[in-house]
Amino acid sequence: MLGKKLVTAQKRGETRALCLGLGMVTCSMMMYFFIGITIVPFYTKSVWTTETVCKVLKANIMDKVLCPNSEGTEDEDIFPYPCLQVWVNLTASGQEVLLYQTEDTLERNPKCSYVPDKSENSKEVKARIETIASNFKKYQTFPCYYDPGGTQTSVILSRLYPLKGLLFAFLWPTLMFTGGCLIIVLVKISQYVSVLSAWQ
């Protein structure tokens, strides 16, 4: 009687472990799919792939503009802010080009180097932009990214999804997938050993 209870408990434990392993594999596949349709397209579409050195030529704060500067935008998403323009000398080609914070900055407003998030406090936005401008004037040389193919003449300060960020995004689902497969393999080995012991 006790042996039957032990066998039943063992089978239940194996079933739960197998369900856990399959659940981890399923969740990891869903995470792979989500990353594949969100982050990967932004990484592959970005043309600013080569890192170089930029030297600041001038950093000016222009009059207030509306953000974002794109068609089909709702009025509630439009807000005024000071326009910061940072012109740099691209070391790779020697050209004078406009610097943008990220790829998204160029899409939101191609006239400005920095686009702040929507904020009700305009004084904080103005102070932040003035701080950024003073930092550019203080640190004249810094790494930036440009388009080696020449499609985009502008440069960006940082990529939204660099290679390290992409690899880090794939790290967690990979660990989950590996752990799920390991659990399934261990359960199958346990079942095989149990069957082999029963035959003996």
111 and 172 co-located in one domain: no
pLDDT in tens, 78-101: 667 888 999 999 876 778 899 999
**114-143 pLDDT, tens digit each:** 988 776 677 888 888 889 989 888 888 999
What pLDDT, on a 0 to 100 scale, did the predictor assign at position 64? 65
Domain tally, the chain: 2
> What whole-number distance in Å separates Cα of residue 144 and Cα of residue 75?
33
* Same domain assignment for residues 76 and 154: yes
Q: Which domain holds residue 153?
A: 50-161
Out of 31-45, 58-72, 81-95, 112-126, the most confident range is 31-45
What pLDDT does 70 receive? 45
Give dist(CA 169, CA 147) in Å, integer: 24
User: Is residue 66 situated within a structural domain?
Assistant: yes
Distance of alpha carbon 123 from alpha carbon 129, whole angstroms: 10
pLDDT at 66 over 80: no
Least Cα distance to 92 among 54, 57, 142 occurs for 54
Same domain? For 126 and 65 the reply is yes
Q: Are residues 156 and 78 in the same domain?
A: yes
Is 156 among the domain residues?
yes
Question: Is residue 20 one of the residues assigned to a domain?
Answer: no
Q: What is the pLDDT of residues 187-198, one digit of tens each?
A: 888 888 877 776
Q: Which range is least confidently modeled, 73-82, 150-159, 177-186?
A: 73-82
171 and 187 share one domain: yes
| 159-171 tens-digit pLDDT | 888 888 888 889 9
The answer to whether residue 191 sits within a structural domain is: yes
Do the domain assignments include residue 54? yes
CA–CA distance, 175 with 153 (Å, rounded to integer): 40
